[in-house]
């Protein structure tokens, strides 16, 4: 973010010295301006005709003369600006997600392709340090360019800030390279308003705003600001608002160092407004967890928040690698990329999202686009001082503009069971990996497949338990969606088994009829065709010696001949998928 320097309490002499003998005046007519220049001995070095603002080079004493002249609305020193390096620039990927994690975090990837393409009718202007138009994601847009400072189309970005911001606002989504901007196919107008070292004044800002508005920009992004404003800045903001342009500005990075309100953001969403009214959007930064980033400003002038901590973007080839660490991007054939943090990078995400909302409904006004972005954010219409109306939800905003629901991808999970084996199958459009989890009897969920491209798996289950399986799909942007649980219940009914002996015949040997009764606890469980085994005990262990199947009523019979001796006999059922094993009482027989 570019920060305003200087304090209102500075002396006129020190202010003139800092401004290099320049004075900014607001004038009523050309005649009044010429008269003021002549009376003060000043020379007009720059004019913004649309705002009736001029910059005069004059002796220090001229400032006192200008204040009292007819037709001069105000005379002020230029508000000096300089680059503020955003905190927490990270040379490594954010944990737990894709490189450009912010894309899925704001649900940008759920926007219909038709809306992304329709955004080509919208121009987003980025007022910044310039842009590296050779960066693949910017080159694909063939951006219009203009340098307010150089008065030419050369916007070479030696500082690097503007390239990163531009890639987030309007980087190409269709060139299969690098990053994807939030504006779909929106046109990019890169206006260089800062010098090579990042310094910038309110006059530069005002001139850039007027240039963007006059060239047809529908949205203007301003990732700069500071603790003071000026009549020149206020006139430029009013000019854009009067022309139906949506202004979006970074809220500031002083959340841990005094949280001083930042301008122009505090002009777009006025101090004390608590999200009501305003002429634009003041954007705070959120983190990977969805909370306000610790460095982000907060307070009554916050409109909403967007990812701004360790977000991924394109870097200028002319920028200093020390200030903008490079991050290798697997699969990338061109361009250079890296991570950055700051509300500077939250603001262009909202600006790009605004282009999609306008593309979804071209009849909206700037105020209506802003309201849709606010009301569709994660706060669901509620406002708070940390993140305003909540975290940006691009898909919800587009759906609200169209009057339709968000089409969220689903994971289809199904299964087939054969005996104690279950085979699971799953699929989700756009998924690049899956995770399969399961639990037994509502115990702790365990990961069965951590990360896989497979779409099926088979498992053997144990009878008498219930199982629940869930598949989570992850797309190329890091968005994860989970399936509905697939539940398998294997009932395990108890079985009561009885054994009786009858019809004893003979003296030296015994012919007896044994009858086993199979009685499961479940009333609907079939009793027929169940194998029951007879077992005898030899003093040490049980041995199987006969088998019979039950009738429809659950009765099995055996006729056995026993020699002289003592016998201990029992019936046993081995169990099944849905039935527990069972053993009858022991029958003792003696043959004398």
Contact 120, 406 (CB under 8 A): no
Point out the catalytic residue in the list 40, 58, 75, 128: 128
Per-residue tokens: 571: 């019936």
- As given in the structure block, the two tokens for residue 104 are 């899925």
Mark whether 161 is an active-site residue: yes
Measuring CA to CA, which residue among 168, 240, 219, 180 is closest to residue 355?
A: 219
Catalytic-labelled residue, pool 75, 86, 147, 161: 161
> What's the distance, CA 310 to chain centroid?
13
> Looking at 230, 344, 346, 483, which residue is catalytic?
344
Taken in order 9, 13, 19, 25, is the CA torsion positive or negative?
positive
Q: What is the DSSP letter of 1?
A: -
Helix (H) or strand (E) holding 30: helix 30-40
Distance CA 258, CA 254 (A): 6
Which class for 88: exposed (0-12), middle (13-18), buried (19 or more C-beta within 10 A)?
middle
Is residue 344 part of the annotated active site? The answer reads yes
Which residue is it, tokens 């916007």? 155
Tell me what percent of the chain is helix, strand and coil, each rounded to the nearest 5: 20, 35, 45
Query: If DSSP codes are grouped into helix, strand and coil, which group holds residue 52?
Result: coil
Q: What is the DSSP letter of 299?
A: S
Question: Do 139 and 174 form a contact (C-beta atoms < 8 A)?
Answer: no
467: Cβ–Cβ under 8 A, 6 or more apart, which residues? 422, 438, 439, 440, 461, 487, 488, 489, 490
Residues known to be catalytic = 128, 161, 344
């Amino acid at each position: 973010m570019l920060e305003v320097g200087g304090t209102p309490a500075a002396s006129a002499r020190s202010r003139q010295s800092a401004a290099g003998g320049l004075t900014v005046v607001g004038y009523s007519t050309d005649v009044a301006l010429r008269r003021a220049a002549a009376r003060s001995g000043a020379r007009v070095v720059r004019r913004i005709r649309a705002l009736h603002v001029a910059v005069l080079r004059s002796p220090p004493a001229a400032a006192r003369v200008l204040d009292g002249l007819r037709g001069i609305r105000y005379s002020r020193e230029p508000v000096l600006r300089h680059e503020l390096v955003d905190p927490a620039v990270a040379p490594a990927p954010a944990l737990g997600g894709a490189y450009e994690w912010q894309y899925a975090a704001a649900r940008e990837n759920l926007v219909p392709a038709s809306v992304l393409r329709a955004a080509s009718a919208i121009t987003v202007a980025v007022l910044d340090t310039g842009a590296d138009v050779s960066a693949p994601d910017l080159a694909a847009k063939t951006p219009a360019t203009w340098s307010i400072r150089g008065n030419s189309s050369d916007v070479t970005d030696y500082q690097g800030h503007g390239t990163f911001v531009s890639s987030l606002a309007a980087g190409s989504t269709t060139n299969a390279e690098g990053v994807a901007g939030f504006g779909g196919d929106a046109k990019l107008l890169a206006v260089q308003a800062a010098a090579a070292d990042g310094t910038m004044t309110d006059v530069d800002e005002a001139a850039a705003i007027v240039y963007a508005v006059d060239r047809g920009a529908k949205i203007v992004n301003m990732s700069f600001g500071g603790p003071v404003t000026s009549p020149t800045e206020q006139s430029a903001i009013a000019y854009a608002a009067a022309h139906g342009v949506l202004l979006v500005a970074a809220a500031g990075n002083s959340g841990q160092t005094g949280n001083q309100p930042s301008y122009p953001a505090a002009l777009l969403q006025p101090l004390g407004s608590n999200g009501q009214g305003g002429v634009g959007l003041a954007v705070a930064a959120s983190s990977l967890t969805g909370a306000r980033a610790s460095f982000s400003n907060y307070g009554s002038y916050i409109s909403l928040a967007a990812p701004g901590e360790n977000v991924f973007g394109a870097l200028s080839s002319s920028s200093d690698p020390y200030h903008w660490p490079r991050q290798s991007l697997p699969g990338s054939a061109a361009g250079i990329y890296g991570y950055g943090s700051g509300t500077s990078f939250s603001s262009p995400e909202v600006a790009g999202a605004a282009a999609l909302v306008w593309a979804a409904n071209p009849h909206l006004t700037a105020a209506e686009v802003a309201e849709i972005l606010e009301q569709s954010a994660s706060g669901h219409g509620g406002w708070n001082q940390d993140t305003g109306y909540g975290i940006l939800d691009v898909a919800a905003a587009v759906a609200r503009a169209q009057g339709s629901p968000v089409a969220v991808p689903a994971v289809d999970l199904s299964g087939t069971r054969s005996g104690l084996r279950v085979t699971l199958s799953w699929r989700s459009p756009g998924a690049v990996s899956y995770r399969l989890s399961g639990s037994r009897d509502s115990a702790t969920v365990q990961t069965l497949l951590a990360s896989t491209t497979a779409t099926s798996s088979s498992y053997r289950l144990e009878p008498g338990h219930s199982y629940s399986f869930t598949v989570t799909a992850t797309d190329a942007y890091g968005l994860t969606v989970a399936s509905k649980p697939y539940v398998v219940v294997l009932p395990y009914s108890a079985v009561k088994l009885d054994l009786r002996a009858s019809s004893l015949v003979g003296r030296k040997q015994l012919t007896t009829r044994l009858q086993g009764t199979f009685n499961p606890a479940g009333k609907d469980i079939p009793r027929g065709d169940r194998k029951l085994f007879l077992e005898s005990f030899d003093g040490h262990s049980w041995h199987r010696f006969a088998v019979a199947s039950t009738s429809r009523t659950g009765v099995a019979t055996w006729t056995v001949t026993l020699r002289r001796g003592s016998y201990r006999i029992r019936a046993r059922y081995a169990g099944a998928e849905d039935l527990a094993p069972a053993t009858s009482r022991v029958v003792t027989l003696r043959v004398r």
